[in-house]
Amino acid sequence: MSQIMQDDKTYIANTYARFPVVLKSGKGSLCTDENGKEYIDLGTGIAVNIFGFADPGWTAAVTAQLQTLQHASNLYYTAPDTALAKLLCGKTGMKKVFFSNSGAEANECAIKAARKYAATKKGADTYKIVTLENSFHGRTLTTLAATGQEVFHKDFTPLTPGFLCTPANDLEAVKELTQTEKIAAVMIECVQGEGGVTALEPTFVKGLAKLCADEDILLICDEVQCGNGRSGALYAYMNYEITPDIVSTAKGLGGGLPLGATLLGEKVKDVFVSGDHGSTFGGNPVCCAGAVEILSRIDDALLGEVREKSRHIISELTGAEGVKGVTGMGLMLGVETEKPASEVIAACMERGVLVLKAKNKVRLLPALNIPPELLQKAINVLKEACK
Ligand SMILES: *Cc1c(COP(=O)(O)O)cnc(C)c1O
Phi, psi of 386 (to 5 degrees): -80, -20
If we measure between CA atoms, which residue out of 308, 310, 349, 341 comes closest to residue 324? 341
Counting from 1 in the atom list of ligand 1, the atom nearest the Cα of 143 is 10
62 in contact with ligand 1, CB cutoff 6 A = no
pLDDT at 358 over 90: yes
Nearest CA owner, ligand 1 atom 6: 103
- One domain, residues 237 and 315: no
- One domain, residues 336 and 256: no
Name the pTM for this structure.
0.98
- One domain, residues 261 and 308: no
| pLDDT score, position 121 | 97
Confidence of residue 376 (pLDDT cuts 50, 70, 90): very high
In a domain, 64, yes or no: no
pLDDT digits (tens, 9 = 90+) for 188-205: 999 999 999 999 999 999
Task: Write the DSSP symbol of residue 135.
Answer: -
Total residues belonging to the chain:
387
In a domain, 349, yes or no: yes
Ligand 1 pocket test, pick from 225, 231, 248, 262 with the greatest ligand atom count within 8 Å of Cβ, gives 225
pLDDT at 257 over 90: yes
How far apart (Å, rounded) are the C-alpha atoms in residues 165 and 149?
Answer: 9
Last residue of a domain, one of 247, 276, 297: 297
In a domain, 62, yes or no: no
Phi, psi of 19 (to 5 degrees): -70, 150
Count of domains in the chain?
A: 2
Overall average pLDDT of the 99-117 stretch = 98
Last residue of a domain, one of 297, 323, 346: 297
Nearest CA owner, ligand 1 atom 8: 103
Last residue of a domain, one of 274, 297, 320: 297
363 in contact with ligand 1, CB cutoff 6 A = no
| pLDDT score, position 1 | 80
| pLDDT score, position 338 | 98
| pLDDT score, position 129 | 98
pLDDT digits (tens, 9 = 90+) for 229-248: 999 999 999 999 999 999 99
- One domain, residues 73 and 211: yes
- One domain, residues 184 and 35: no
pLDDT at 258 over 90: yes
Strands (E), 123-209: 128-132, 163-166, 183-188, 191-192, 198-199
Nearest CA owner, ligand 1 atom 5: 103
SS3 199: strand
- One domain, residues 266 and 329: no
CATH of residue 196: 3.40.640.10
| pLDDT score, position 286 | 98
- One domain, residues 45 and 153: no
Q: How far is CA 103 from the centre of its chain?
A: 7
User: How many whole angstroms from 138 Cα to the centroid of ligand 1?
Assistant: 5
In a domain, 61, yes or no: no
135 in contact with ligand 1, CB cutoff 6 A = no
User: Do you find a cis peptide bond into 80, omega within 30 degrees of 0?
Assistant: no
- One domain, residues 291 and 304: no
Overall average pLDDT of the 315-336 stretch = 98
In a domain, 208, yes or no: yes
pLDDT at 100 over 90: yes
In a domain, 347, yes or no: yes
pLDDT digits (tens, 9 = 90+) for 272-285: 999 999 999 999 99
pLDDT digits (tens, 9 = 90+) for 123-174: 999 999 999 999 999 999 999 999 999 999 999 999 999 999 999 999 999 9
Strand order of the sheet with strand 356-358?
323-329, 332-337, 361-364, 356-358
How far apart (Å, rounded) are the C-alpha atoms in residues 41 and 122?
Answer: 48
pLDDT at 78 over 90: yes
In a domain, 63, yes or no: no
Question: What is each CA distance from 367 to 63, 78, 330, 386, in whole angstroms?
Answer: 21, 30, 11, 22
CATH of residue 303: 3.90.1150.10
- One domain, residues 265 and 340: no
Task: Write the DSSP symbol of residue 200.
Answer: P
pLDDT digits (tens, 9 = 90+) for 160-183: 999 999 999 999 999 999 999 999
Cβ contact 79:148 at 8 Å: no
Cβ contact 244:189 at 8 Å: no
Nearest CA owner, ligand 1 atom 15: 225
- One domain, residues 312 and 214: no
- One domain, residues 330 and 359: yes
Cβ contact 357:334 at 8 Å: no
104 in contact with ligand 1, CB cutoff 6 A = yes
282 in contact with ligand 1, CB cutoff 6 A = no
Range of the domain at 316: 3-55+299-386
| pLDDT score, position 127 | 98
- One domain, residues 77 and 184: yes
pLDDT digits (tens, 9 = 90+) for 14-42: 999 999 999 999 999 999 999 999 999 99
Average pLDDT of the chain, as a whole number: 98
β-bridge pairing 260-264 and 96-100: antiparallel
In a domain, 60, yes or no: no
Confidence of residue 318 (pLDDT cuts 50, 70, 90): very high
Percent of the chain's residues with pLDDT above 70: 100
User: How many whole angstroms from 365 Cα to the centroid of ligand 1?
Assistant: 14
